[in-house]
Structure formats: C-alpha cells, structure tokens
Amino acid sequence: MTQETPFGAASVRSELLTRREAAAYLGVSEQTLAIWKCTGRYNLPYIKIGRLVKYKRQDLDAFISRNYNTALA
C-alpha cells in the first residue's frame, strides 16, 4: 500500500469511466448517455459519486454483449 493508492484506489479508479470516456467507448455522444440515464431507455448501470456519474467498463461490455445483433440485414 502506498500513499498514492490507499486500499487499491488506483485499480478501482481505472475500472470507472467518466461519462465522456463511456460515451467514446460505446461510440455515442455524452448527451445520448445522459438521455438514456434520465429516460431509463436502456438498463445501463451507473455509479453516482457526488454530482459525477461513472460507468464500470465491465457493465459497458455487458451492455454491448446484450445488444449485439448477429442477424444479417
């Protein structure tokens, strides 16, 4: 344990993405994520830390998997 990473804080931070990072990861706009959160359009879990909204990378990966469509157009 070091002063910079008490109790594994660095590894937790690396798993949490900001709305901007999550939007880029999914290939949508930040506004789209905000709308999804407010309307409940998709069941995309988020973490509220004060006024900040954070997303777990594993939740984003699960969201992608749930919405993956293999049907050909």
Evaluate whether residue 30 is within a structural domain.
yes
Residue 22 located in a structural domain: yes
Domain membership flag for residue 13: no
Residue type, 23: A
Overall average pLDDT of the 21-31 stretch: 96
What does the alpha-carbon distance between residue 24 and residue 34 come to, in Å, rounded to a whole number? Answer: 13
> How many structural domains compose the chain?
1
Q: Is the pLDDT of residue 57 over 70?
A: yes
pTM of the prediction? 0.73
Q: Is 64 within the bounds of a domain?
A: no
Domain that holds residue 45: 18-59
Comparison of pLDDT for 55 and 12, the residue scoring more: 55
Q: Is residue 2 assigned to a domain?
A: no
Give mean pLDDT, residues 6-25: 78
Contact 54, 16 (CB under 8 A): yes
The answer to whether residue 32 is domain-embedded is: yes
